[in-house]
Amino acid sequence: MSKPSCIDQLFERTRAENRAALVGYLPAGFPDLKTSIAAIEAMVEGGVDLVEVGLPYSDPVMDGPVIQAAADRALVGGTRTSDVIDVVRASADTGAPTVVMTYWNPVERYGVDRFAADLADAGGAGLITPDLTPDEAGEWIDASGAHGLDRIFLVAPSSTDERLAMTAEASSGFVYATSIMGVTGQREQTSSLAPPLVERLRKVTDKPVGVGLGVSNRAQAQEVAAFSDAVIVGSALVRCLLDTESGSTGVDAVRELSRELREGMAR
């Protein structure tokens, strides 16, 4: 039997503490490389348990305007896949399990096995692949297995029971449940589709389930934490950097929002 990954160990700990894990997303290279690393460090200081490092991509079909704007700025600033690996290394150095969130095309261009090897060498824990399904992921399943990386696939409210079971079986670390139909972004209220989706997943897997898309404040985090193993926050954290004049002010805002969200994690 393989030893538990750092993500497995995280969920063992949060379950023992009777709380959900807080997962925070920020894109590498936004607003610049140095500030993106400082913001991730601030996120972890504020209480984020697991870091998602976004790989900026020119055609982010599933992302809303906030994350698109951040990715565009990172790309204009010259952020490359090798820079993303450097950000992962800095994030992993904080002690927080760190995964990359990326569309599949940049991984293919970089080289699948090369990407897995470099990610593992940087201390990365795995990969979230929003546009790659398990039945099309043979090469990634082989590469991630060879380099000891978790593979986190997505399910949606529209997924059939059969696909939920297949996706959960192929996933490791946790299963990513997208709680809304549509692109990423903050919402006034959390989705009513999320609890039944998680309930359906519980019938086919005992793996942890993280719920993402739409959470932006403590009350929403507390609501989602009541029925999931992890609360995933992206656009609200990115907006902290997007809405500020200076990098240091944005980094402070990221830390404060992370702290506020973490306070909502206890059940």
In a 3-state reduction of DSSP, which class is residue 87? helix
How many alpha carbons lie under 13 Å from residue 85 in its C-beta half-sphere?
Answer: 15
Other CB atoms within a 10 A radius of the CB of residue 72 amount to 16
Query: Is residue 119 a contact partner of residue 146, using CB atoms and an 8 Å limit?
Result: no
Token representation of residue 47: 């209480």
Query: Is residue 200 a contact partner of residue 163, using CB atoms and an 8 Å limit?
Result: no
- Helix, strand, coil in percent for the chain, rounding step 5: 50, 15, 35
Catalytic residue flag (residue 63): yes
Backbone angles phi, psi at 27, to 5 degrees: -80, 140
Q: In sequence order, what are the residues at sequence separation of 6 or more whose Cβ sits closer than 8 angstroms to the Cβ of residue 186?
A: 66, 214, 216, 235, 236, 239
Measured CA to CA in angstroms, residue 90 lies from 191, 194, 206 at distances of 33, 33, 31
Catalytic residue flag (residue 52): yes
Among candidate residues 41, 52, 118, 150, the one labeled active-site is 52
Among candidate residues 41, 49, 63, 229, the one labeled active-site is 63
DSSP 210: E
* Residues tagged active-site: 52, 63
